Amino acid sequence: MSEKPKVAWYWCASCGGCEESFVDLAERLLKVFEAVDIVFCPVAMDFKREDVEKLPDGSITVALINGGIRLKEHEEMVKLLRKKSKIVIAYGACSAWGGIPGLANLYNLDEALERKYLEVPTIENPKEVLPTKKIIVNIPEAKMKAELELPEPLPVLLPLDKVIDVDYYIPGCPPTPDVFWNALQALLSGNLPPKGAIVGASNRSLCDECSLNETKPEKVLVKEFKRPDKAKPEPNKCLLAQGFLCMGPVTRGGCTALCIKGNMPCTGCFGLLDGIVDYGGKAISYFGSILDYSPVEEKEIKKAFDGIPDWIGTIYRYSLAASKLSHKAGIKKPKRIKEVVEI
Amino acid sequence: MSDSKGEFEPKIVVYACNWCTYAATDLAGTSRMSYPPNVRIIRVMCSGRVDPQFVLQAFADGADGVIVAGCHPPADCHYIEGNYKAYRRFELFRKLLETMGIEQERFRLEWISAAEASRWVQVVNEMVAQLKKLGPLKPNLEVRE
């Protein structure tokens, strides 16, 4: 019997939802284990970096990498995995386009660290401890000092393909088990699409597979944008036609419109369709097209757009880091990260 | 870009509508009006055809400023309401530039009719002067070593 393909699975700046999608394969998981050998998976198994380093170059068949690149450690690990793997797949929205952690690219890292470690209402940090590169810990009982080196954060979050060469993308936040399963089938059967393609999802917009598509009028025109937390959508009627900002028209299909089945407008986690270069740009184009005011009604137009509160979060929820502007202009290297702290 | 004296010369990408603004630029030429050579004009059929992605792409590829220009509202548009659509889109687009820390002066939406060659020259002159003050656009500062 020939050797089973080796699979590595690594996480960078992510929430763990992508791993969850793997577990959600349920019984199909057994088939996955039958078919492949997992050689590296820090979330579930005790493998160390040395184990990967020992493998010969190109010996891993597929490396699945989820999460955005936020730390030097992530950068080093994905470069190592790239060297050891034949195929690298950006798994999930964070890895492919930065995802939700990518929204931090609207801030300097100093601002982000202050917010995270000092300002948020749930944090208690009277000594104002912030991450440092090296911490020296005194242990009086053992009469010794221990040194801890922490991975340094990068000034902005980067999608995987800005750090290493990526072969395929599996979209979604997280990818649904079915999407993952489809992609896995394609990989195991060797029936591979051209490099750089999205695997497992469709290239039609989400509306194409939405159950409410039949109720979508030919020309959608709205007077105001509604929010699902402020207004109750009518069931079984296109959410967009009701004024809820559904990202369906500009989003790739493949999830079978799960959120919409739960009365929640699409937020765009399957990302860009082929031919779109900037998700937010396309979204702006579409918002402008459906708003039913003439330019002389400037106040009404402004008011309608002001009705979108976190509007960068609306148009770039999963793709700010991969957008054309990618981060706020003028982001500088962080000042507040100290070299050494002794405690 | 800089001229022979080393002074910064901004690059401006212009999306000009076929029916009004492009005709105005043409008229400026045939009337032998002079204006700075910093503009690169891209003729589009309608300002309503200009997708905000085009503008983002221009900025990402090194433009220091972008002008989208079309027919005067309410009734000049050859396609009835293309300019209305452009207006609504770029109203929202300006908010994006603001959030991403890009100066508002780098983007202009202008209505210039086929007869307004002098208005075209004025817009270009103003924009060049503003951009010279602002300096080059560097959205992708060197954030990585």
Q: What is the pLDDT of residue B143?
A: 45
Residue B141 has pLDDT above 60, yes or no: no
Render pLDDT for A147-157 as a digit per residue (tens, 0 to 9): 888 888 888 89
- Decide which of A308 and B121 is more confident: B121
Q: What is the pLDDT of residue B1?
A: 52
Render pLDDT for A262-281 as a digit per residue (tens, 0 to 9): 889 999 999 988 888 999 99
Q: What is the pLDDT of residue A333?
A: 73
Distance CA A181, CA A196 (A): 19
How big is the CA angle at B89 (ends A275 and B14), to the nearest 5 degrees? 75
Sorting pLDDT into bands at 50, 70 and 90, what band is B144? Answer: very low
- Does B49 lie at the interface with A, CB-CB under 8 angstroms? no
Residue A294 has pLDDT above 60, yes or no: yes
Q: Which residue, among A251, A316, A290, has the nearest Cα to B95 in the 3D structure?
A: A316
- Does A281 lie at the interface with B, CB-CB under 8 angstroms? yes
User: Mean pLDDT for chain A?
Assistant: 89
SS3 letters for A250-263?
HCECCCCCHHHHCC
- Per-residue tokens: A263: 């009365």
- Per-residue tokens: A302: 């402004």
| Chain A residue nearest residue B138, CA to CA | A329
Q: What is the pLDDT of residue A327?
A: 87
Q: What is the pLDDT of residue A2?
A: 62
Test mutation, A163, A284, A289, chain B, max B CBs within 10 A: A284
Mean pLDDT value of segment A323-340: 80
- What is each CA distance from B121 to A30, A88, A171, B26, B39, in whole angstroms? 70, 52, 47, 11, 11
Q: What is the ipTM of this complex?
A: 0.87
Spell out the residues 6+ positions from residue A180 whose beta carbon is closer than 8 angstroms to its own. Answer: A21, A22, A25, A170, A200
Q: Which residue, among A289, A280, A288, has the nearest Cα to B90 in the 3D structure?
A: A288
Q: Considering only CB atoms, which chain A residues are within 8 Å of B84? A: 294-295
Q: A85-124 burial, b for 16+ CB within 10 Å, e for fewer?
A: bebbbbbbbbbbbbbbbbbbbbbbbbbbbbeeeeeeeeee
Render pLDDT for B72-111 as a digit per residue (tens, 0 to 9): 988 888 898 889 899 999 999 999 999 988 899 999 999 9
Distance CA A5, CA A176 (A): 23
Residue A291 has pLDDT above 70, yes or no: yes
Distance CA A60, CA A52 (A): 9
Q: What is the pLDDT of residue A129?
A: 81
